[in-house]
Chain A
Amino acid sequence: KQEVTQIPAALSVPEGENLVLNCSFTDSAIYNLQWFRQDPGKGLTSLLLIQSSQREQTSGRLNASLDKSSGRSTLYIAASQPGDSATYLCAVRHGSGGGADGLTFGKGTHLIIQP
């Protein structure tokens, strides 16, 4: 059974710092990996999607990398801002057959950017 782990569980840093969030998964047979942010009481906003054949994706100040063979992904946030405060979730889509196309999520990293 696929398991997704996110480290750290919580992080508080001053504004302007660059930071890295980590995600690991136990079964490397994934189809893709998606990073989301979730604001309190809200749904999920998709940040980046990395297909299993890709190594990284970039969107603005965000950069996500994927090392499928080692079961790891990182989300790099450059020049952090208070508006980046949220919970960041990592999720993998299964790559094998049988219609198992839902996402398996980690518990998330709760990020606070101090002004």
Chain B
Amino acid sequence: ETGVTQTPRHLVMGMTNKKSLKCEQHLGHNAMYWYKQSAKKPLELMFVYSLEERVENNSVPSRFSPECPNSSHLFLHLHTLQPEDSALYLCASSQAVSGRAYNEQFFGPGTRLTVL
């Protein structure tokens, strides 16, 4: 257990569905991240939130919409996804200093997403 939980662990959705991924951290951190892990590709950073403000959007399509209502929770809202969006989506958290994410990142177990 890393102190970062993600739900659901597995999700199958059609291309016209709307779903949300949830991440919660119990470490007292104030920076949170979404990463995507596709087969045979390195983990890719999607979004960074530091002190509840989005500080990075790594050229992610608008069909992915993040939300960070407070420092402990992070959501990824999914809408009209494509089959190539099937991947493992990982959430991470760290402790930011002066608004810049700083130290060691701790990862959740991920949500395995399949888009039909």
A-side interface residues toward B, CB under 8 Å?
4, 32, 34, 36, 41-46, 49, 89, 91, 93, 99-108
Task: Decide if B42 touches A101 in the complex (CB within 8 Å).
Answer: no
Task: Decide if B56 touches A99 in the complex (CB within 8 Å).
Answer: yes
> Quick one: closest A residue to B9, CB to CB?
A41
Residues in chain B near residue A108, CB distance under 8 A: 42
- Complex Cα gap A43–B1 (Å): 10
- Complex Cα gap A34–B102 (Å): 12
Task: Decide if A42 touches B105 in the complex (CB within 8 Å).
Answer: no
Task: Decide if B100 touches A105 in the complex (CB within 8 Å).
Answer: no
Task: Decide if A43 touches B110 in the complex (CB within 8 Å).
Answer: yes
* Count of chain B residues with a beta carbon within 8 Å of a chain A beta carbon: 33
Residues in chain B near residue A89, CB distance under 8 A: 43
16 contacts between A and B (CB under 8 A): A4-B42, A43-B90, A43-B108, A44-B90, A45-B107, A46-B104, A49-B104, A99-B50, A101-B48, A101-B96, A102-B48, A102-B101, A104-B42, A104-B45, A106-B42, A108-B42
- Complex Cα gap A104–B103 (Å): 14
B64 at the interface (CB under 8 A from A): no
> Quick one: closest A residue to B106, CB to CB?
A46
- Complex Cα gap A107–B39 (Å): 10
B-side interface residues toward A, CB under 8 Å?
2, 4, 6, 31, 33, 35, 40-45, 48, 50, 55-56, 58, 90, 92, 96, 99-110, 112
Task: Decide if B109 touches A42 in the complex (CB within 8 Å).
Answer: yes
- Complex Cα gap A105–B31 (Å): 18
- Complex Cα gap A89–B2 (Å): 17
> Quick one: closest B residue to A100, CB to CB?
B56
Residues in chain B near residue A104, CB distance under 8 A: 42, 45
Write the nearest CB–CB distance from B115 to chain A, whole angstroms.
18
Write the nearest CB–CB distance from B3 to chain A, whole angstroms.
11
